[in-house]
Structure 1
Amino acid sequence: MKGLVFTEFLEFVETQMGADMVDAIIDDCELSTGGAYTAVGTYPFSELRDLLLAVVKRSGAEPGDLLRAFGHKLCSTFASGYGQYFDSAGSLFQLLASIDDHIHVEVRKLYPDAELPSMRIAGRSSDQMLLDYRSERGLEALAEGLIEATSNYYREPVTVSTTQMSDADGEFVRFTIDRKAA
């Protein structure tokens, strides 16, 4: 997993819960890195999972709530660092539609070893999008937070619901994203 996610997660924890919490969760985990990450490095996903679980254990937060909130923070980072994707898309649905076929293609050019989720449009109208999220990492709450924060970025209020699904390719989560009436 790209180091940017790790550095942003630790910054998120520090902002929300303090530097002592960051030190404590790093101490709680047996991390091969010792908790030292760079934004451009690549690190085992298991370390992010362990850090997340350490925060949950120490804070009592629900993992899904924590990941959704982190998704909001991560969206802000993406919007400031990769604003050209947000600007060229122009709307939430356009940005979501461009993830697999454009944004992830560009990410793989920069980071060929990146393990990215799949996000495919299963249906779309002017007021609703069905987005199928596939990942072995179980970070759908993070993706949900990113979707919610992106809707805020574009000032396009939506409601987001999830449904666990499966097909011949395995299990996935379907996000139903409905535009709210103005």
Structure 2
Amino acid sequence: MYGMIHQALRDMAIQHMGDAGWAALLQDAGLKQPLFIGMDYYSDETTMTLICLIAERLNMPLDTALHEFGGVWIDFAGASEYGRILQMAGDDFVTFLESLDRMHASIRSNMPKAEMPSFELIAADTEQMQLRYRSTRNGLAPFVQGILQAVAIRFKESVIISFHLEDGGALFIIKRTLPHE
């Protein structure tokens, strides 16, 4: 994964553990370079090592840490040079979900090694949405759930998000808790 992900993980770790905690975590991960460069590519193993260590240090299940990191990632990406792409992805939650693949294609042009997931909005009405997520990476559905929750909040949507794992991804059920017109 690209260094931007690691920069966001750093923000999450420092928020919970401080600079010294982040430094200790890097040492435990066997990483000598404390600075991750946003456009450099790092192994998925490095990413998962970091998130697993963060979860361990915070005494939380890995799925919970991934979910929380999804929210951190949206805040981080929104404040980065990719914030404009997020803003242009839609004026409402449903439109945003419909344009996820286009948004990722736009990002991929700057990050050629990126293995982007794919999304398909299967159904959407005033009460709920169904979103299919596909990825070559396993175990990231809680991260996506956290992203979706953070995006819903940005669009002032009150939702409950659950998912069912499928081969190569997950099906997300997004239920609105307040009526939507």
TM-score of the superposition, structure 2-length normalised? Answer: 0.89
Residues 118, 88 of structure 1: alpha-carbon distance in 2 compared, 3 angstrom cutoff: closer
Q: Deviations over 1:78-112 (max 9, x none)?
A: 23332353255111111111011x10110111112
User: Which residue number in structure 1 is paired with residue 52 of structure 2?
Assistant: 53
Gaps of 5+ in 1: none
User: Which residue number in structure 2 is paired with residue 128 of structure 1?
Assistant: 128
Match of 2:165, SS state, is strand
The amino acid of 1:6's aligned partner reads H
Match of 1:161, SS state, is strand
Q: State the Cα RMSD in Å.
A: 1.7
TM-score of the superposition, structure 1-length normalised? Answer: 0.88
User: Which residue number in structure 2 is paired with residue 163 of structure 1?
Assistant: 164
User: Which residue number in structure 2 is paired with residue 174 of structure 1?
Assistant: 171
Cα shift at 1:124 = 2.3
The amino acid of 1:10's aligned partner reads R
Cα shift at 1:11 = 1.2
Name the CA distance, whole Å, in 2 between partners of 1:79 and 1:108: 17
Residues 134, 54 of structure 1: alpha-carbon distance in 2 compared, 3 angstrom cutoff: same
Match of 1:120, SS state, is strand
User: Which residue number in structure 1 is paired with residue 151 of structure 2?
Assistant: 150
Cα shift at 1:26 = 0.6
For this pair of structures, how many residues does the alignment match? 176
Name the CA distance, whole Å, in 2 between partners of 1:8 and 1:88: 21
Name the CA distance, whole Å, in 1 between partners of 2:161 and 2:76: 21
Residues 172, 88 of structure 1: alpha-carbon distance in 2 compared, 3 angstrom cutoff: closer
Gaps of 5+ in 2: none
Residues 164, 69 of structure 1: alpha-carbon distance in 2 compared, 3 angstrom cutoff: same
Correspondence 1:1-182 to 2 at 5 A: 1-31=1-31, 34-81=33-80, 82-87=83-88, 89-100=90-101, 102-135=102-135, 136-165=137-166, 170-182=167-179
Name the CA distance, whole Å, in 1 between partners of 2:88 and 2:51: 32
Q: Deviations over 1:109-135 (max 9, x none)?
A: 111211111222222223321111122
Residues 35, 137 of structure 1: alpha-carbon distance in 2 compared, 3 angstrom cutoff: farther
Contact (CA 8 Å) 2:159, 2:175: kept in 1 or not?
Answer: yes
Match of 1:68, SS state, is helix
